[in-house]
Structure 1
């Protein structure tokens, strides 16, 4: 009974995080902030959003730490260190992805009409020349290269994978709305999460 309760609590914590995360990333919420903050929104939103994401995921991390569940497997050395190395590399992808496409995360651009000066241009460069969603790739690598897997972790990781994939689909829908045919052409040429599966594109597409 206690084991079942820990699973339910962990799943509930993940769902709560997903709801808060999705709400604060939604366009209606951003429009509300835009009315209140005006031009300051692009400077303040991302730090505040990141802080909220960290604070709301902490209860889930604590629950998994206290109740990891039965161990399903434990990868021995040296393979576990290769997995940890892969996780460290994946952790570097997200900052690189932000650096290579800061225009994608400007709230005023996201809320602008298609093909307006405020919407900007796609401007493909850096890591986006080989992969469309580096955040999805880094997230999947970080969770699935965990060298110790437990029952509760597996449940959370499966649900997180679904959430990340659905979030990626939703994010690309926004990018199509922001950049139009320019982004549709980019989708045809570059794979979502597997680098180099199709082809790379020249910078500034």
Structure 2
């Protein structure tokens, strides 16, 4: 397979993954799933969503292994280990993001909307007092701190960067549907990814 064909294959597979993943993350799809799963929506849907993402990503990783492309660079020590440490910290950041706002990921609350019975306030805390989308930041850090780079990985990472950013926009639309004006006010006071404004006070 030529380098152009292998790069195209990777991008096409990523596009297919993005389409399925985005569909499953959408509110209309979740509403349909809620009719099927009923009260079992939580925790089964998040588990199914995560498992399906893992299953779909595995072939992409294998394709990168088969068709890595030409080597562009390999970071020498100690920079290599500094980059890996940055990736580990980015992974911990994602875990912290789940811990700091578990109500953001509960599907019934996502579907109920602001003011509905059982709805919870936004109540930003922890990492969310600094940035709105820690998953966007951690995703960028994990991919771009990879201590080696090839042509196909570079093309794939560029496509993933676009997808992560578009996914962040989708995520914010979903949060607006869940929290309404409370989230609009939060958007004005807290940056999306870079904590350049400092920490939001709990009273803010």
Structure-1-length-normalised TM-score: 0.95
Name 1:48's counterpart in structure 2: 48
Instruction: Trace 1:79-94 onto structure 2 (pairs within 5 A).
Output: 79-94=79-94
Distance apart, 1:75 and its partner CA: 1.3
Name 1:199's counterpart in structure 2: 198
Name 2:24's counterpart in structure 1: 24
Indicate conservation of the 8 Å contact 2:113/2:180, yes or no.
Answer: no
Residues 28-76 of structure 1: CA distance to partner in whole angstroms, max 9, x if unpaired? Answer: 1111111111121021111111110000011110010111101111211
Q: CA RMSD in A?
A: 1.4
Indicate conservation of the 8 Å contact 2:91/2:142, yes or no.
Answer: yes
Distance apart, 1:109 and its partner CA: 1.1
Are 1:3 and 2:17 an aligned pair? Answer: no
Instruction: Trace 1:176-191 onto structure 2 (pairs within 5 A).
Output: 176-191=176-191
Q: Which moved more, 1:146-155 or 1:39-48?
A: 39-48
Structure with larger RCO (C-alpha < 8 A, sep 6+): 2
Residues 101-144 of structure 1: CA distance to partner in whole angstroms, max 9, x if unpaired? Answer: 11111111111133223332101111111111011000000000
Name 1:131's counterpart in structure 2: 131
Are 1:151 and 2:151 an aligned pair? Answer: yes
Structure 2 residues not aligned, in runs of 5+: none
Alignment: residue pair count: 204
3-state SS of 1:69 partner: coil
Are 1:65 and 2:43 an aligned pair? Answer: no
Structure-2 separation of matches of 1:70 and 1:153? 9
Distance apart, 1:6 and its partner CA: 1.1
Structure-1 separation of matches of 2:176 and 2:25? 17
Name 1:12's counterpart in structure 2: 12
Deviating 4+ runs (over 4 angstroms): none
Structure-2 separation of matches of 1:49 and 1:130? 27
Structure 1 residues not aligned, in runs of 5+: none
Indicate conservation of the 8 Å contact 1:73/1:149, yes or no.
Answer: yes
Q: Which moved more, 1:151-160 or 1:180-189?
A: 180-189
